[in-house]
Amino acid sequence: MINRFRRFASIFLAVVLTFAMIVGCANSSYFEPTPLAEPDNAMVYVYRPGGSNPGKKPLVTSYPEILVDGESVGMLKNKQYLAVELAPGSREFVATGLTKDARWEPKDRMYSLKLEAGKSYFLRLGVEFDTSAMTIGSFRGQYIINLHNIEESDAVYEIRSLKNAALTN
């Protein structure tokens, strides 16, 4: 009788844990926009999805610091995003390794945006291996890196599986 109870308890626990994992994973690929604190501002999401090439991913342990008009808004690690609320106007975004805390050797990447009140913008820091320049055994320095604006309708599919850098650092 006791063995039967233990067996039932173990099966029940396994079912409950499996259900909890399924429920927990179900929401992991949903992106919820960060609400604006001030409605007269704009929201900019700077994000870095994982590389799309098969096998080893490029620069996964390296990360730049993101500057907006020369001021830091945070580090952008692999598979993370930053939600940055800014006043409207022209803004310059820079992914740089030239700061004390950054771990990033590639050259700076810059992008300028003209922000409008109440709107959301998505900047993607793409990091890929340059497979056309690679040879067997040569992976160092062979990258395609760009920082560019992405339409929200496309960006949400990439950003939904990323972590908010403000919550993970």
pTM, rounded to two decimals: 0.78
Number of H helices, E strands in the chain: 3, 9
- What is the pLDDT, as a whole number, of residue 142? 78
- Averaged pLDDT, groups of 10, the chain, 169 residues long: 55 44 50 92 96 67 95 96 98 97 94 98 91 64 88 94 81
Judge whether 108 and 70 are in contact, CB under 8 Å: no
Q: How many other β-carbons are positioned within 10 Å of the β-carbon of residue 66?
A: 26
d(CA 133, CA 152): 31
Per DSSP, the three-state class of 132 is coil
d(CA 69, CA 25): 37
d(CA 93, CA 4): 63
- What is the pLDDT, as a whole number, of residue 131? 72
- What is the pLDDT, as a whole number, of residue 31? 85
The pairing of strands 120-129 and 42-48 is parallel
- What is the pLDDT, as a whole number, of residue 133? 67
- Look at residues 95, 113, 108, 106 and name the one whose alpha carbon lies nearest to residue 150: 113
The pairing of strands 65-68 and 89-96 is antiparallel
